[in-house]
A and B are shown apart, each in its own frame.
Chain A
Amino acid sequence: MNSTVTSGVSAIDLSEEFDQPSGPLAKIQNILHSYPYLSPLIVLLAAMAVFTVLNSRFILPANLSLMTQQTVIVGTLAIAQTLVILTAGIDLSIGAIMVVAQMMMANFAASASASNVQFALGWPWWLAVAAGVLMAVVAGAINGFLITRLKLPPFIVTLGTLGIFTALSLILFKARTIQGPELPDGMKVMGKAAKLGSFNLMLGVGVMLFLYGLFSYILRNTAWGTHVYAVGDDPEAAELSGINVDRVLFSVYCVAGLIIGIAGWITIGRVGSASPNVAPNINLESITAVVIGGTSLFGGRGTMIGTLLGALIVVVFDFGLSLAGIDQGPRLLTIGLLVIAAVSLDQWIRKAKG
């Protein structure tokens, strides 16, 4: 590809167009635009500092490890939610898929003698876990199929499947909580913790952090990750650039299903039992984490690390405020304000020139 055009005369000097107001505010705007996880990081560190001042017990390793454990369910699910939201979609069925997956795991693994379990198949724990994860992938594929083939908006599809998968849990597994003693140890292994001094590092937390690292890598360094951003940013441009938009979307919902399945396994470990009512507000909580983490609901913009920070922020605020003796009402109010602030910030950052 040797071109003959390199003469400086005919070259357009485009640099002059970059003259733009560069006051301190514009600079901040540009920095936040380039590093979208910076604002949640600042919020998290500031909140931790304030809560430590309010109550010095906040920063104790035992409390910090408790906060990581409280983050693990919503944090893992938020990885799936981030992928979906990056494509300018939304997944309202995340919680329902997780419940049906973990109920399947617990039912299939429960010892055959257990009396109140619907399908006490007594499968080895790993086989039951694999079945549950597969169930979640299939559920994600159903979402992906409806969105790409029937061309329905993700909001409507997942609103529908939220009901369908919840019903599936109730119909198949009779909404019965399966207690810990009825489950094999391998199924609860995600709740095991390694003691690092007085900090308990739960295996599930380790898996969650690994998944964050993995998907950070995938989004930043693989063609598939680039295509996820491109599809969320401008699907028509992506299609004309030769990206199979439907295939990317379908794969995103399948991968989200995989992550949700793993989250179901982690949840059994964290809670110590399998219950259909384990996390009733988890859909909205996962969206909250993603949004506070700086990912745009309009798609194409956001990072995994931001979502992890967003999930931590929610837990830190909840924990810190209750440690400071503040009631649930004001705590919810604070989280609500955080969401509004995060989206306003996103809108402002999007106006940045670069």
Chain B
Amino acid sequence: MTDSNTKSATAIDVEPIIKGRNLVKTFGHVVGLNHADLDLFPGEVLAVIGDNGAGKSTLIKCFSGAHTPDSGTVEVEGHSVHFRSTNDARSAGIETVFQTLAVSPALDIATNLFLGRELRKPGPLGQIFRMMDKKQMRAQAAQQLSDLGISTMQDITQAVETLSGGQRQAVAVARAAAFGSKVIILDEPTAALGVRESARVLQLIHDLRERGMPVILISHNMPQVFEIADRIHVQRLGRRVAVITPQSHNANDAVAIMTGAMQVPEDEQTPGPVR
């Protein structure tokens, strides 16, 4: 990556870990995605910004398995994939923290972390009697939360409904971080959080990047995006209109691009990796 201005050179050198092309998704008469593209390169934090209804959530849901695009292609590490459920995406190593968090309030923290991929006891207890290894799941859940610096939660067997919004967010992020092996997608992870908790989630994204984990971050919060993102994907009217970096443009430019007040020429964009 000696010459970051030569976009074609870098794009050929490094294969994107996630690549979406010409994605179309409609909901009745509403067009969610109108031939949208997306590239996520290894080790980078890609922010996805856009106005309400620009198709940000719809776009990432095509990669997390929650939506199946009407047409277009999704590739993971160069292999074409067709996700029909979040489980498909999860087994491909892509974990998502949804805007709604997708946690089950009545179940406890440990159960939520392992929801849908429960551990079974070894031996006949697990194989014949299908007994879950609750002890192991609780131990791993506690370890995971403490690794993420969220260890002060009182009790791993506490129901999620007894937690605050920030704590629930932490549970959802911990789940993604625990199982995500290739990509972690975060949809508005700080929207419901206070200042301190937001800072903690940002720190977490930093740490994920330090570990080399590629992250897609949807956010409305421009200062946050410009602080943490390597590249910024601007979504407008269901498609990608520009890819910029915090170095090439400022927050005012980003808003102008989002709203259509500004166009970015091809040669000022950053379609390839910067790291």
Chain A residues near B (Cβ < 8 Å): 1-8, 10-15, 17-18, 217, 221-224, 226-227, 229-230, 233-234, 236-244, 300-301, 353-354
- A17-B167, A233-B106, A241-B115 as given contacts; A1 in contact with B147, CB under 8 Å: yes
Q: Which residues from chain B contact A238 at a C-beta distance below 8 Å?
A: 104, 115-116
Q: Which residues from chain B contact A14 at a C-beta distance below 8 Å?
A: 150, 152-153, 164, 166-167, 170
Does B22 belong to the interface (CB within 8 Å)?
A: no
Q: Is the beta-carbon distance between B100 and A236 smaller than 8 angstroms?
A: yes
Question: What CA separation (Å) do A243 and B86 show in the bound complex?
Answer: 9
Q: Is the beta-carbon distance between A12 and B147 smaller than 8 angstroms?
A: no
Does B263 belong to the interface (CB within 8 Å)?
A: no
Tell me which of B104, B106, B170, B200 contacts A241 (CB under 8 A).
Answer: B104
A14-B170, A229-B107, A234-B105 known; 9 other A-B pairs, CB under 8 Å? A1-B144, A3-B211, A4-B210, A14-B166, A230-B107, A242-B87, A242-B115, A300-B106, A354-B159
Q: Which residues from chain A contact B104 at a C-beta distance below 8 Å?
A: 229-230, 233-234, 237-238, 241, 300
A154 nearest CB across to chain B (Å): 19
For the complex, count residues of B whose C-beta is within 8 A of A. Answer: 55
- Interface majority SS on A: helix, strand, loop or mixed? loop
Q: Which residues from chain B contact A237 at a C-beta distance below 8 Å?
A: 100-104
Question: What CA separation (Å) do A1 and B152 show in the bound complex?
Answer: 20
- Nearest 3 A/B pairs, CB to CB: A354-B162, A242-B116, A240-B102
B214 nearest CB across to chain A (Å): 16
Q: Is the beta-carbon distance between B152 and A12 smaller than 8 angstroms?
A: yes
Q: Is the beta-carbon distance between A12 and B150 smaller than 8 angstroms?
A: yes
Tell me which of A5, A222, A240, A301 contacts B203 (CB under 8 A).
Answer: A5
Does B90 belong to the interface (CB within 8 Å)?
A: yes
Q: List 17 A-B contacts (CB under 8 A).
A: A1-B177, A3-B147, A11-B200, A12-B152, A12-B200, A13-B152, A14-B153, A14-B167, A15-B154, A222-B130, A229-B104, A230-B115, A234-B105, A238-B104, A242-B90, A242-B117, A244-B85
Chain B residues near A (Cβ < 8 Å): 66, 85-87, 90, 96, 98, 100-107, 111-112, 115-118, 120, 129-132, 134, 144, 146-154, 158-159, 161-162, 164, 166-167, 170, 177-178, 196-197, 200, 203-204, 207, 210-211
Q: Is the beta-carbon distance between A18 and B147 smaller than 8 angstroms?
A: no
Q: Identify which of A12, A14, A233, A244 gathers the most chain B CB atoms within 10 Å of its CB.
A: A12
Q: Which residues from chain A contact B117 at a C-beta distance below 8 Å?
A: 242
Q: Is the beta-carbon distance between A5 and B106 smaller than 8 angstroms?
A: no
Q: Is the beta-carbon distance between A3 and B148 smaller than 8 angstroms?
A: yes
Q: Which residues from chain B contact A233 at a C-beta distance below 8 Å?
A: 104-107
Q: Is the beta-carbon distance between B151 and A11 smaller than 8 angstroms?
A: yes
Tell me which of A1, A217, A226, A240 contacts B111 (CB under 8 A).
Answer: A226
